[in-house]
Structure 1
Amino acid sequence: MKEEYAVRVENVTKVYKLYDKASDRLKDSLGLTRKKCYKEHYALNDISFKVKKGETLGIIGTNGSGKSTILKIITGVLNPTQGQVQIDGRISALLELGAGFNMEYTGIENVYLNGTMIGFSKEEIDEKMDAILDFADIGDFVNQPVKTYSSGMFVRLAFAVAINIDPEILIVDEALSVGDVFFQAKCYKKFDEFKEMGKTIIFVSHDLSSINRYCDRVVLLNKGVKLDEGEPKDMVDLYKKVLVGQREAEAKEKIINKQAGDEKDSIKLMDQISLNPDISEYGKKDAEIIDFGIIDDIGTIGSNIMKGSDFSIILKVRFNKKVENPIFAFTIRDLKGNEITGTNNMFENKILLSGEEGEVKKITFKQHMNLQGGEYLLSFGVTGFIGEDFVVYHRLYDACGITVISNQNTVGFYDMESEVTIV
C-alpha cells in the first residue's frame, strides 16, 4: 500500500545574496555590472524530508540553522532557490507574531481577515467564531485594535484562529513561548486532539521537552543542512552533541588566540555550557571555584538532562590558601528564585580534612534527575568554618541553567516515581 504524505520537501535550497553596500545591490538588480558584487549565504542547502499524514514532526536546531526558513517555504511565504515542496491538505500556520494580522483592525476583524485568506467564507467563519473566541479568552479586547494588545493576547488570538479553522496541516514556529503556562497547556491539549483526529503537525521549538513528548519524529538542522532525522530522543541526544561541538570549537579558538604562558590550559567545562551573563559572585577566595559543568548519562557536557536519567555536576576548586574542612555545595533553584534542591559534601558524609595551598580538587556530585521538565538555575559554593564563624570562600549564584527534558510530568517540583497498580 502506497504511503500517503501530507508534505514532501525535495532538495530545497534557499540562497540569499549579501551585499556590502546598497549601491552594489542596485547595480546587481539593474544588471549594470558583470562582476559578482555579493556573497552567497545558504540559509538551506539541499534539504529533503517527508511528513506522513497524521504525523507530528518536530524540527530542531541552533539559531540560524534554517528552521523558520523551511517553514516559510512550506507555507508559501518564501520561494526556494532550488527544489520543490508538495502539499496535500489545507495548511494553517502560526509562524511569527503578527504575521497576517492588520494592526489597525480589531480582533474580530482580523479573525475574518485570516479566515478569508485561508479560504473560508464569512458563513463558515461565523460558525467557528464562538470556538475561536472561547479558545483565545481575551474578553472585550476582541473589539479593540490589535495594536493595543499585549504580546500574550496577540498570540492567544492568532493561535486560536490557526487551530480552530479545521486545518489538515498545522504549522507552529515557537509561538507558544509567548503565552502563559495555562494557555500553553490548552494548546498542547489541542495538539493531542489533533493527533487523535489524524491531523498533521509540523512543530519548531527550542523546548526540547515538548519536542520529546509530542513529536513522532524529529528533523535536526544545523547551519542550513539536515544532519539527521529519527526518533525524538535520538535527535535530542544528537542535538546536544552539536551544541557541545560548537562550544568546543569556540573554546579551542579562545585557547589558540591566548598568549603563550600559563594561560595555555585545556578546555574548561564551563566553556562548553551556557553561562549566565549576570552571574553573581562573592567571597574571600581562599578557596576559589575555577571550573564547573554538567555531564549527562552518555558523557555529554551540556545543560540538557533527560528526566529519569543519571547525571553529574562537576566542581573544580583551587585553594589559594590552606583551608580546613572545606564545604563544597550546589543548589538548584527555579526561575522565580525558589530553592528546589541541593546538597554538599558534609551532608553526603564525604569530608575533606583540608585543602592545601596551590592544590586543585575536583568534586563530582552524581545523582538521578527526577525534577519535572522545565528550566532551572544552578548555583555553587565553597564555604567552611574558622572556629565557630561561618566563612564564605567563594559563591557563584545562578551560574548556569539546567534544562530538564521530560515527556511525563507529575504535580509539583519533582517526580516521586510512583508505580501504579490497578486490579
Structure 2
Amino acid sequence: MSAEVVIDVKNISKVYKLYTKPSDRLKEALHPMKKKYHNDYAALDNVSFQVRKKEIVGILGTNGSGKSTILKIITGLLNPTNGTVSVHGKISALLELGAGFNQELTGIENIYLNGSMMNLGKDEIDKKLQQILDFADIGDFVYQPVKTYSSGMFARLAFAVAINVEPDILIVDEALAVGDMFFQEKCYEKMKEMVQSGATILFVSHSLSAIRNFCNRAVWIEKGILREEGPADEICEKYKYFIEQKETKEIVKTAVAEEPADVPAGKAKNKIFVKDFQMNKNVVVTGEDIVFTIELGFRESGLKYGVGMIIYNEKGDIVTLFNTVRDDMKLERPYSVFKIKVENNDFLDGRYFISVHISDDMVMYPYDRNDYISEFRVLPKKNRRGLPVAEGYFRCKHEWEILE
C-alpha cells in the first residue's frame, strides 16, 4: 500500500494584476464601466502534483518559473486564484531568508517568536532552546539583533529553529545555499534523520546535484506550468538538457550562417572538398564507441593535404580535435574515405558540434571548411544508484586500490 498523501496540489493557478502606474489601480476601481487598466500575469497555471509521507521531493525551475509562489501557497502565505491545496501535518518552512524574523529582535527573541507562530508554548520552546542553539552554533551572536547577522548566520539560526519544532513537513527554499559546506553537511544529515522518523521534505534548489542525490522525486515547473514530474535523476537530466539548449550561444548560429572570408565561394572551385559526413549514431552514452566518417572529393591529384575535425561544446569552446597533420600522417594522394573511431568514449552529458576542415599539409590555408557540419548528443552513463559515473568536462579513466 502506498504512503499517505500529505500535500495534494490540485489545479493551482495564481494570476497577478500588473499595473503600469499606481493611479491605474484607482482608475480601474472607480471606473463605472469596469474598464481594465491592468495586464494579467499567470505566475502559476493549472499546476497539480502530490507529495507522500517520508518523500523528499525537489522542485526545479528557472528564475521566475513559479517555484516560490507554489511554496507560499502550500504554506498558506498566498491564496491561489484557482485550485486547492490540502496539507496534512504541521509545516515548518524556510522561504526567503529572514521571513518570519523580526530584524530588531535578538536571535533568542526570534526563536520564541517563531516557536509561538508554530503553536508551541513557552515551556516547549524552553525545552528545545539548547538544541536550537547547539545546532545554529552562532555563539553570543544569539543575544544580538538579527539585523547584525551575516546571511550565513541567519541561515543557521533559521534552519535550527525550523527543524527543531519537529514538523511533519519541512519546506526549504534555497536556504542552504548561503551556508558553508560544514553547515550544509549537518543540515542534510539532519534532514535524512527527519525523513527516517516520518517527516516529509519539499526541497527547492538550483543545484541539480543536490536534487538528484538528495531527493526521491522531482517536480519541474517552468513559466508557471508543470513540465515534468518523476524520479529525481530523470527529471534532472531533462532539465539540464533544457538549460543547455536555452543557453547555447549564438556562436553556433553565426558559424553556420557565415562562410569565412578565406574559403572560396561555393565548392565548385575547391581542389579538395568534403562530399559527406556521417556518424554511426547521433545520440550516444558515455563509454560507447563513436565512429565519424568523412568522405572527400578531389578535382586535382598530387596535392599534399591534411584532414581535421574539431568538436565544440555548446558554448563554442573546443572540447577536442583530430588532425592527420598533428598525428604525423602524410597524405600525398587522394583518399576517398576517412574514419575516426573513438572507442569507449569519454564525452560527458551534453550537446556537441562538429566542424571538418581540409587544409594543406602545413595547415597554412584551407582547401575546404565545413563549420558546424553536424552535431551529436551524449547521455550520461549511470551507476547502480542512478547517478552519472562522472561530471565536469571529461571522464578520467581510473582504478581504485583500497589498502588495509
Q: Separation in 1 of the partners of 2:78 and 2:282?
A: 39
Partner of 2:213: 213
CA distance in 1, matches of 2:105, 2:166: 23
Contact 1:217 1:230 in 2 (8 A): yes
- What is the match of residue 111 of structure 2? 111
> Relative to 1, partners in 2 of residues 1:112 and 1:420: Cα closer, same or farther, differing over 3 Å?
same
Q: CA deviation at 1:106?
A: 0.2
Alignment of 1:345-384 (within 5 A): 350=327, 367=346
- Deviation string, structure 1 residues 313-359 (Cα, Å, up to 9, x no partner): xxxxxxxxxxx9x9x999xxxxxxxxxxx99989xx856899xxxxx
**Counterpart of 2:91?**
91
Asked if structure 1 preserves the Cα contact closer than 8 Å seen for 2:233 and 2:387, the reply is no
Q: CA deviation at 1:160?
A: 0.7
Residue 237 to residue 17, structure 1, CA distance change in 2 (3 Å): same
Q: Is the 8 A contact 1:9 1:50 kept in 2?
A: yes
Question: Residues of 1 paired with 2:165 and 2:22: CA distance?
Answer: 42
Return the letter of the residue paired with 2:180.
D
Deviation of residue 418 (structure 1)? 4.0
Residue 194 of structure 1: how far off its partner (Å)? 1.4
Distance 1:95 1:218 in 2: 18
How many angstroms does 1:132 deviate by?
A: 0.6
After the TM superposition, which residues 390-409 of structure 1 pair with which residues of structure 2 at under 5 Å, given as runs?
A: none
C-alpha displacement of 1:113: 0.4
Q: How many residues align?
A: 314
CA distance in 1, matches of 2:320, 2:138: 44
Q: Rate the CA distance shift 1:350–1:232 in 2: closer, same or farther, 3 A.
A: farther
* Maintained 8 Å contact 1:92/1:169: yes
| Secondary structure class of the residue paired with 1:35 | coil
User: 1:369: how far off?
Assistant: 5.9
- TM-score normalized by the length of structure 1: 0.64
**How does the TM-score come out when normalised to structure 2?**
0.67
Q: Give 3-state SS (helix, strand or coil) of 1:103's partner.
A: coil
**Partners in 2 of 1:28 and 1:66 — Cα distance?**
27
Following superposition, the deviation at residue 27 of structure 1 comes to: 1.9
What CA distance in whole angstroms lies between the structure 1 residues aligned with 2:78 and 2:168? Answer: 21
Contact in 2 for aligned 1:155/1:179 (Cα 8 Å): yes
Following superposition, the deviation at residue 28 of structure 1 comes to 2.3
Corresponding residue number in structure 1 for 2:141: 141
Distance in 2 (alpha carbons) for counterparts of 1:192 and 1:110: 26
Whole-angstrom CA distance in 1 between matches of 2:208 and 2:289? 17
Shift in alpha-carbon separation, 1:353–1:162, aligned structure 2, 3 A: farther
> What is the identity, as a one-letter code, of the residue corresponding to 2:257?
K
Are 1:264 and 2:257 counterparts?
yes
Larger-Rg structure: 2
CA RMSD after TM alignment: 4.2
CA distance in 2, matches of 1:157, 1:70: 24
CA apart distance, 1:126: 0.8
The alpha carbon displacement at 1:367 in A equals: 2.2
State the shift of 1:64 in Å.
1.3
Q: CA deviation at 1:193?
A: 0.7
Q: How does 1:61-72 map to 2 (within 5 A)?
A: 61-72=61-72
Contact 1:53–1:198 (CA under 8 A) maintained in structure 2: yes
Q: Is the 8 A contact 1:59 1:67 kept in 2?
A: yes
1:235 matched residue in structure 2: 235
Shift of 1:241: 2.8
Question: 1:202 aligns to what?
Answer: 202
1:378-399 Cα shifts (integer Å, max 9, x gaps): xxxxxxxxxxxxxxxxxxxxxx
